[in-house]
Amino acid sequence: MDDDAFRLYYGATWLNLPATLTGRRRPPLIERLTSPQRLAEWLAAVGLTPQEPPTDDDVTAAIELRDALYEMSRAAVEDRRPEGGAIRILNIAAAQDSPPALRIERGELVASAPTTTADALGRIARQAAEHLTGPERARLRACADATCAGVYLDESGRRRWCADATCGVRNRVRAHRARQTDPG
């Protein structure tokens, strides 16, 4: 997989944001939010392009929220209390959320774009708060690959990996190699 590619297969935008930093359990550590432009690209990829372009301060805020969401998601799947100021950071970001205005455009119902990056991050924080306190919490799963730190929303109840094409393949190859070397 391309190291620059955004990983958007975790089932919810708030779970995709922590995946902008990979390598927490299997080096190398790869940071994908390296500039305001990269943050703008990620926001566009998740459908939250703000009307005003991101700034360096927005990158800092996004990384702070990302780390808080990572801690909150891991705490949820590990059934433990979140560490540090993760709840405070989530609440600060969520307070920036302003509900989107709905309108009809070309016969389709659409929501207005966030005005600022803080507004976009607020929408993400709100989604996280809703999932962490609602019925979606019971569908949060940690990837079964011990070298992956991913948390995803399991809609089917049968998923084992955050992404079958990466973690799933890696684990099937490991199992195959183990069977090949096992003399029994």
List pLDDT tens digits, range 100-122.
899 999 999 999 999 999 999 99
Q: How far apart are the first and last CA of the chain?
A: 35
Contact of 84 with 148, CB cutoff 8 Å: no
Beta partners for residue 21, in sequence order: 31
Q: Considering the entire predicted model, what is its pTM?
A: 0.90
Tell me what pLDDT residue 51 has: 96
CATH architecture, range 13-181: Orthogonal Bundle (1.10)
How many residues are there in the chain? 184
Instruction: pLDDT band for 175, please (50, 70, 90 cuts).
Output: low
More confidently predicted of 17 and 25:
17
Q: What pLDDT is recorded for position 26?
A: 87
Kindly tell me if the per-residue pLDDT of 79 is higher than 60.
Answer: yes
Please determine, for residue 129, whether its predicted confidence score (pLDDT) is greater than 80. Answer: yes
Amino acid occupying residue 137: R
pLDDT at 90: 97
Which residues, other chains included, contact 149 with Cβ-Cβ below 8 Å and sequence gap of 6+? 18, 22, 24, 25, 70, 74, 143
pLDDT for res 176:
58
Cα separation, 184 vs 180, in Å, equals 10
The mean pLDDT value of the chain amounts to 91
Residue 76: count of CB within 10 angstroms of its CB: 21
Helix axes 36-45, 56-77, angle to 10 degrees: 50
Q: What angle in degrees, to the nearest 10, is found between the helix axes of 56-77 and 86-94?
A: 120
Question: Is residue 75's pLDDT more than 90?
Answer: yes
The token duo for 167 is 């973690």
Residue from 165, 106, 134, 175 nearest 14 by CA? 134
Q: Average of pLDDT values for 150-172? A: 80
Which residue from 102, 112, 121 is spatially nearest to 40, judged by alpha carbons?
121
pLDDT at 158: 84
